[in-house]
Structure 1
């Protein structure tokens, strides 16, 4: 929350009383203008500039960070939610780029559920936040990796710019025309990633793919060893057929930069 500046600052300083108290009253009013009275000796026209500036900037960042979520709320319900966020949430970061993360924390820990909230609110918000988080991440692809060699006989290195996620709802399909009231029987597995061209994308996956990437991150295993390990866990009846399917999957993951490259044994 910005400090009182300009004429508003001079008016606050010139009145009797504690200036810090004036700052607190000023900030409280900007956070919740309908609930907290404005300082009586600051011109309301000037306060209005601050009110509009603070709210509009925050609302614009939240709406741009969560466009699908914004699209499924009516204007009154959306603005009521953002105003509650501004009023209730004490942000830990002063940076506008992190407003989306602060808004997600508000939804997860502070928002009182409302009749207008869809059952997939938290999952959709998390999915949209992940896209932004990957877009601005400063993680880098590992250096000195090869793109040559047999993918089954080489050690696979998973990109640090891929998140393996699972949700109860198909978050990548949600929008104004598709808002299920109940989660389907099958969970949704997604790989959200940023490639070497800095483009964020997603890939529908399943529990097997998610497990394969988990093993690849945890241990230095070749593609063959990864597929065989997953096959044993699944008790797959045809290891050779699984190996062929696994090769195709690994090559697709590498083409998308989800697998960042190969290391020789």
Structure 2
């Protein structure tokens, strides 16, 4: 069950929608939702992991995004959490070589520092 106390019917319908999105079928009526989610995740990966996306050539980023959507059940859809979930996916998959996984981890660490610096500077400005 989810961390939100949604009614059981709503939980079931959400699960069906998620399965339809992961299926990514062209004839599926839920395809528009899948396209929106794909675009969001693609943008996060491209903007958060620029070294990875410019270095890794064994698979297209499109293929990696589809594998991530299909095979990883993310728990939190916010921007930074998507980057963290993608890093977990990279760490637990055989699709990516270890040196690429380490590069993804490094880029996530850089993002974390940038976010924390931004929060710290805003906090100092408010004091």
TM-score normalised by the chain length of structure 1 = 0.37
Query: Which is higher, the Rg of structure 1 or of structure 2?
Result: 1
Q: 2:116 aligns with which of 123, 131, 137?
A: 137
Q: 1:72 aligns with which of 46, 52, 55?
A: 55
TM-score normalised by the chain length of structure 2 = 0.71
Runs (5+) with no aligned partner, structure 1: 1-17, 39-43, 142-195, 197-265
Higher RCO, 1 vs 2 (CA within 8 Å, ≥6 residues apart): 2
Deviation at 1:92, TM superposition (A): 2.6
Number of aligned positions between the proteins: 112
CA distance in 1, matches of 2:75, 2:45: 16
Cα distance 1:75–1:28, how it changes in 2: closer, same or farther (>3 A)?
farther
Would you tell me which structure has more helix in proportion to its own residues? 2
Deviation at 1:19, TM superposition (A): 6.3
Cα distance 1:26–1:68, how it changes in 2: closer, same or farther (>3 A)?
same
What SS does the corresponding residue of 2:76 show, helix, strand or coil?
Answer: coil
CA distance in 2, matches of 1:21, 1:100: 27
Deviation at 1:119, TM superposition (A): 4.4
Once the two structures are superposed, residues 201-239 of structure 1 have per-residue CA deviations (whole angstroms, 9 ceiling, x without a partner) of: xxxxxxxxxxxxxxxxxxxxxxxxxxxxxxxxxxxxxxx
Runs (5+) with no aligned partner, structure 2: 1-8
Would you tell me which structure has more strand in proportion to its own residues? 1
User: Is 1:84 matched up with 2:67?
Assistant: yes
CA distance in 2, matches of 1:91, 1:82: 13
Cα distance 1:53–1:75, how it changes in 2: closer, same or farther (>3 A)?
farther
Once the two structures are superposed, residues 102-127 of structure 1 have per-residue CA deviations (whole angstroms, 9 ceiling, x without a partner) of: 11111112x123xxx44411111111
Deviation at 1:32, TM superposition (A): 2.7
User: Is 1:95 matched up with 2:74?
Assistant: no
Q: 2:42 aligns with which of 51, 59, 63?
A: 59
